[in-house]
Amino acid sequence: MAPEPLTQLADDPGGRSLGLVLPPGRLIDETDQGTWPYPLLWQADAPATRGQWSALEAGCRAVGLLPVLVDVGGHRGGPEGWDLMCGNLSYPEDFEAEDILADYWNALPQGGPTAPSGRAWPGLAPARRPDADPDALAAETADTLLDGDTLLREPHLALVPAERNADVLAAIGWTGSLNHEDDPGVLSAVLRSWETRFGTRVVALTADQLTLSVAAPPTTPAEAEAVAAEHLAFCPDGVTRHHRTNLHTYAAEAVRTRRTWAFRWD
């Protein structure tokens, strides 16, 4: 079924019928399986600017559209070059994050980073209460990423039809983790759990990278290491690329008190 807000933008590019005032942009329906029967996202033509996310978010959310930054400056260009796949998509609600992460963990090669409890899957990290508004923090993080972040070469604002932020990957069939997981619905199931436990929001996407804002990051070494184990299961490439010895270093440098989590798959 076609997402109604985007079909309205096809006839009304400025979004006035939805109560929006959008900059020039276009709808994207190109996927790895060919042209999709309906658009998957709207993308602004010009690079994103500071304050743009905040200015549009409330109105867009009211009509079922969620903002996300998409990098069009990478070697594969923007989303139309990312090989989006919706044909093998599962529903996030059909999965439990605990089961997904445990399966990923058990498939890790021997000899890599280990959790404090050893090789056995340590289970999900405990939830934390956000000390910042998750949506406001996402907007602040988006602005920060526009201030010379080296991993985003040319970020543009995009709007995705989704009921909750964690489902952005599933909604567009994002394939950045293809060599690790080829079902975006499974990834969104994990993000739903992080959204609930840590107040995360999807802020930026490239062809193979995902950046989240974190409103309730772990603050103790033990909590950070428990979350780090989940990160290793979710994106082993991102952890082992820079923290090859164990999870203690990764937890201290990339998880504890950090307001952004970045994942990149090879």
Which pLDDT belongs to residue 72? 96
Residue-wise pLDDT for 235-244, tens only, equals: 998 888 766 5
* Distance (Å, whole) CA 217 – CA 207: 26
Task: Tell me the two tokens of residue 98.
Answer: 């605990």
Which pLDDT belongs to residue 162? 95
Residue-wise pLDDT for 76-126, tens only, equals: 899 999 989 887 789 999 999 999 999 999 998 876 776 666 688 999 999
Average pLDDT score, the chain? 92
DSSP secondary structure, 176-243, as one string: TTTTT---HHHHHHHHHHHHHHH-EEEEEE-SSEEEEEESS---SHHHHHHHHHHHHHH-HHHHHHH-
Rounded to 10 degrees, what is the CA torsion of 92, 93, 99, 102?
30
Contact 105, 184 (CB under 8 A): no
Contact 131, 219 (CB under 8 A): no
What residues of the chain score a pLDDT lower than 70?
Answer: 1-3, 111, 114-118, 149-150, 242-245
Contact 241, 250 (CB under 8 A): no
